[in-house]
Structures are given as structure tokens and as C-alpha cells.
Structure 1
Amino acid sequence: MVSTAPYNEIAHWYEQEFLRSQEDDPIGVHRVLRQLLGEGAGSCLEIGCGTGIHASRLRALGWDPVGVDLSDGMLRYARGRLPVAQADAERLPLRDASVPATVAVVAHTDMPGYPAVVWEAARVLRTGGVFVHVGVHPCFCGGFADRGDPDAVVVRPGYLDGHWTKESWTDHGLRAKVGAAHWPLPELMHAFLDAGLTPERFAEGGGPTPTVLGLRARKFTPDAVPSPTVSARAGC
């Protein structure tokens, strides 16, 4: 994860303006999270919890949400919604095998070292625990994708060039303000396999061209997962 917290500068805008545009779940984030996580009990760690807006949805499914985020600006809003800690997602302040569930919701593009984050999620999961990833769809969202016309998304060259960029088809979104990382689909999927997690279910959200890709993976072995073989790439 980046060593600074660019969201500090936009936390108020994110809470007061951006989130209002997402209340009706226009790209299916809430539906995909509910579908893949399902009902459960015990602690659910949200990695990159931001302002904590998903806490109520996790509670509605029976989970007890706790959150970590790098940005103290975002956490000022989150503290009224769930227990939180300010921490780097690549070094989670939890013991091995300590939680039954973890989620990352529209957060992976904010984490240049996301493969290491997935490894950390696997480390803190109990045997049988699940990690649910819900993020922007790598095939149709990125600096290479022009979504100005939602009925005809234009995918230009650049999909295979995983990198960090502020390039965007609009100057009103998050990417243009704080930048975002991108991984082609195989590289994103390999992060889960390399962490020793077994993918179980997938889901997409948004239309007519999907905006969201979700994945549920499970930790089946009590053995410690190996050190991550994929590290944050320079310049991503």
C-alpha cells in the first residue's frame, strides 16, 4: 500500500458528495457483497474500510464488522460506524488465524501492493474462513476504458499494462482525484492462488457492461501461507 494516504485530502468530498451518488447501488456493489459473503457470525474484518459505509450491511448479514484503513481522514467518519484501526493493509495488526471472514470492498485499486494485502487476509483468516473481494472490474474499468457512454464502453490499448494512473474518462470520479492501480484479470486471480486461497464463487455487477467483479475465496488449510511471491511492482 502507498505510504501516504491521499484520501485524507478528499475525505469530506467522499463522505458528503461521492457517497450520495452511490446510495442506490448503481453498479451493484452492495448486491455482490451480500451475494458472496452471505449470512454469518463473528468478526468480519473490512480491509480498506474508508468511512465505514459497509458496516451496516455487514451487520445486517449477522457479522460484527471491524475495519482498518490507512487514511485517518476517512477513519474520522468511520469511527462512528464500526471499531477501526489505522493500519497499512500489507501489515494487518491482527494475529494469525484470528477472524472468520475478511472483505475488501472497492478498495483494491487503492492498494499498489494488493497481492501482499491478499496474503495478509489469508494469514489472519481462520481455517475455513472466507475472503470476499469486491472491486471495479479489471476488464472494463481503468485508464484504458472510456465509460462516457455506458451503453458502449470503449476499451483502448493499455489493459495489459498494469500500472498506477490518474487517467480517466471523467474528472468527477475517484481515479482522477487520487489515482488507481490496475491488474489484468489473470494477475488479480493469481494473487488469491499465491496466497493459498481457493476461489469458490464469482459475481459481476453493473450493466450493460460490468463495472464490478466479485470473488469469494476460502482458506482450507491451517498451515501458514507462504510469503507472497508477487510483490508491489514499481510504478504500479
Structure 2
Amino acid sequence: MAPTAAYDEIADWYEHDFLPASRPGDPIGVQRQLTELLGAGSGTVLEVGCGTGVHAAQLRELGWAPLGVDLSAGMLAYGKTKLPVARGDATRLPVRDGSVPAVVAMLVHTDMPDYPAVLREVSRVLRPGGVFVHVGVHPAFCGGFADRSDPAAVVIRPGYLDGHWTKDSWTTEGVRNRVGATHFPLPALLQAVLDAGLTLTGFTEGGEPVPTTLSFTTIKP
């Protein structure tokens, strides 16, 4: 049985309500981090969990040819208008071993309960010397344990160490209270990268005054 795609139920809302209501510019530094960590290049870049294709235009501007994989047919109905896509489970990517020079995961790791398995798949499909960029919500400051209703004074409650799935959220206007999120404490996240055989090469954060995102880049030896 194929895994359930939670985003199917919110795909229309995500495309027509959530994205247009997002703050203009790059308030949490996602675009900046992608540019810094991936950089200009050529060839195929596989976006794992591409959703509606929000990042395809920026990837093209950097010189890459984006290809998207996502589990949600509802999200891909929008995504396919922006980049070539395939429906698939990120823990079993429909991509040949060692076939792509770059992979990106953009704000999706909390949507993937077995993200360590996803990282192993990323390592499998990357060419030797290939680059993987992870742009994700900050493990230390975002999650069901974090109340971000006052950006100047984020409140961290017990729960960071639990590493569990939850729909708890500080806002009712976002994605997490609708589809939930899986939390990975920082050591668990970074250890999963190393266990996948990837070498960490750079880090950056985004958002202020308390970071919202933590991103890193790796290479496949």
C-alpha cells in the first residue's frame, strides 16, 4: 500500500491561500540559503518533496535543470506546471544510482517521518562528488515545543528532546496544524546525514531575531 499523502487534502489551500498570503521577499532566508549553499551550476537538480514547485524558478536562475519528486498527487497537479515531476516516495526515489549531480530538500524534512531513509536515498542517487542541500525549519527553535507567537521572545517548552510527530502549532494559519510535523532533535538530524555517508561542508541559518531555519550542504565522497 502506498503511503498516505497528507498534502493532498490541503493542496488547493496551499496554492491559492497559503502561498499568496506569505510575506513578500525572503523573510526567513530560504532563497538566500539555497543560493549560498547550492550556488550556480548545470545539469539536473532533484528536488525531493517538490510540492507545488515553488523553488523551480530559482533553481533555473542558478543554471540548474530542476526535476521534482513528491508523494502528493494534489501538490504535483500544481507542480507539474513549473517543472518536470514524478510521483514517488522519498524513501524509494524513482531515480537510478549515482545519476544526479545535485539534490535539494526545501523545508520538507519534518514532513518525512523516516528522513534518515530519505537521506540514504539521496546518497544513493547522487554522483560521487555530488551536492545535497538541506533547507529546513530550525530543530532548536521550531516545533510543537516552540511558541513563536512573539518573534522577539520565542518560548521553548519541554518536548525538544522527544523527537515525535505532532499537530501542535503556535498558529492556526499555517501548515503544521493541518498536516502535522515530525521533529528531529539537532543531533539526530546531523547523525542521520553522517550515517547516510554524506560529508557536511557548510551551514547557515535564516530568520531573525530568533532563527527560523537551519540549512546545510553536503557532498557525496
Per the normalisation by structure 2, the TM-score is 0.98
Alignment of 1:25 onto 2:26: yes
Name the counterpart of 2:85: 84
Q: Which consecutive segments of 4 or more residues in structure 1 shift more than 6 A? A: none
CA distance in 2, matches of 1:103, 1:83: 15
Deviations 1:42-78 (A, max 9, x none): 0000000000010000000000000000000000000
Deviations 1:179-212 (A, max 9, x none): 0000000000011100000000001000000000
Q: Secondary structure at the match of 2:190?
A: helix
CA distance in 2, matches of 1:195, 1:110: 19
Shift of 1:24: 1.8
Name the counterpart of 1:51: 52
Name the counterpart of 1:199: 200
Q: Secondary structure at the match of 2:36?
A: helix
Name the counterpart of 2:218: 217
Name the counterpart of 1:5: 5
Shift of 1:27: 1.0
Alignment of 1:102 onto 2:103: yes
Number of residue equivalences: 219
CA distance in 2, matches of 1:107, 1:58: 17
CA distance in 2, matches of 1:202, 1:191: 16
Q: Secondary structure at the match of 2:133?
A: strand
Name the counterpart of 1:69: 70
CA distance in 2, matches of 1:99, 1:124: 6
Shift of 1:23: 3.9
Shift of 1:22: 4.4
Name the counterpart of 1:157: 158
CA distance in 1, matches of 2:24, 2:92: 31
CA distance in 1, matches of 2:198, 2:77: 32
Name the counterpart of 2:173: 172
Q: Which amino acid aligns with 2:9?
A: E
CA RMSD of aligned residues (A): 0.9
Q: Which amino acid aligns with 2:69?
A: V
CA distance in 2, matches of 1:3, 1:22: 32
Task: Mark the runs of 5 or more structure 1 residues left unpaired by the alignment.
Answer: 221-236
Name the counterpart of 2:15: 15
Name the counterpart of 1:233: none
Q: Secondary structure at the match of 1:172?
A: coil
Q: Which amino acid aligns with 1:158?
A: G
Deviations 1:1-32 (A, max 9, x none): x9101101111111112112144222111111
Task: Mark the runs of 5 or more structure 2 residues left unpaired by the alignment.
Answer: none
Name the counterpart of 1:182: 183
- Residue identity (%): 65
- In the superposition, relative to structure 1, how do residues 23 and 51 fare at CA in structure 2: closer, same or farther (>3 Å)? farther
- In the superposition, relative to structure 1, how do residues 22 and 66 fare at CA in structure 2: closer, same or farther (>3 Å)? farther
CA distance in 2, matches of 1:81, 1:10: 19
Per the normalisation by structure 1, the TM-score is 0.91
CA distance in 2, matches of 1:23, 1:42: 29
CA distance in 1, matches of 2:124, 2:23: 32
- In the superposition, relative to structure 1, how do residues 23 and 52 fare at CA in structure 2: closer, same or farther (>3 Å)? farther
Q: Which amino acid aligns with 1:111?
A: M
Name the counterpart of 2:126: 125
